[in-house]
Amino acid sequence: MVAALVLAGGLYAVFAPQAQAQEEPGNRAAAAEGEALFEVGCITCHGRSAGGVEGRGPSLINVGGASVEFQVGSGRMPLARQEAQALRKPPLYTDEEVRQLAAYIESLGVGPVVPDDVDALVEDANLARGGELFRINCSQCHAFGGGGGALSSGKFAPSLYPASDRIIYAAMLSGPQNMPVFGDTTLTPEEKADVIAYIQQVIQSDTDPGGFNLGRYGPSTEGVAIFLVGIVALVFASLWIAGKS
């Protein structure tokens, strides 16, 4: 039994994808750089070896690199103060440093990781399918125009306009704040790329084929505009008819 366990463990260590990724020299070097960055900028809240500090920050064991790429890459971390929701800010780390921090957190456990071929997937994406998936899964919170919207308890779905392809992909994998997790069993990598391509090429574009966008907030601003214009027109029409009579 002992020999069988040793053999099974050895085979897993050799052939498991996660183990192979951690053994690559490039990943080890990036993780070492990320650990140095972590000890300077993150250890105060997340503790030594990313184990977490009560009342300050959670453990990052088994969180995965996707969460790091979203939180740090969008400037939400380091957190300035405790609020209902972390706010997007200009990032304090470069893209390379964000990848290094993500590599360090990846080395501490198993968690979702943003694939390296995201750009290639987005280039070959299906915009029509991406629009359908966005309307089904994302528009309820981020609005049809991607401008975001209010949620409960002081939280909100942020605007999608400044988001890059890797940030969006990382958000779908990690499910930050109130956002659900869209794992590969829910949306395949190709479907995630379709959604990203739709956001970048349709929502984030400056073109408005329907005319003036009224802030892209959806039917609320359109209803207000129609009400104001319609009521004013009816008042003037009533005055004109009364004057003629």
Residues at the binding site for heme c are 42, 45-46, 138, 141-142
Torsional class of 50: left (φ above 0), alpha (ψ -120 to 50), beta (otherwise):
left
Q: Give Cα 78 to chain centroid, integer Å.
A: 16
User: Which tokens go with 123?
Assistant: 């280039």
Instruction: Write out the binding residues.
Output: 42, 45-46, 138, 141-142
The residues facing 53 across adjacent strands are: 57
> What values do phi and psi take at 163, rounded to 5?
-80, 135
Q: How far apart are CA 178 and CA 175, in angstroms?
A: 7
Amino acid at 28: R
**Do 157 and 218 contact (CB within 8 A), yes or no?**
no
Structure letter (DSSP) for residue 163: -
Q: CA-based diameter of the chain, in Å?
A: 105
Closest CA to 66 of 161, 172, 177, 199: 172
> What values do phi and psi take at 59, rounded to 5?
-70, 145
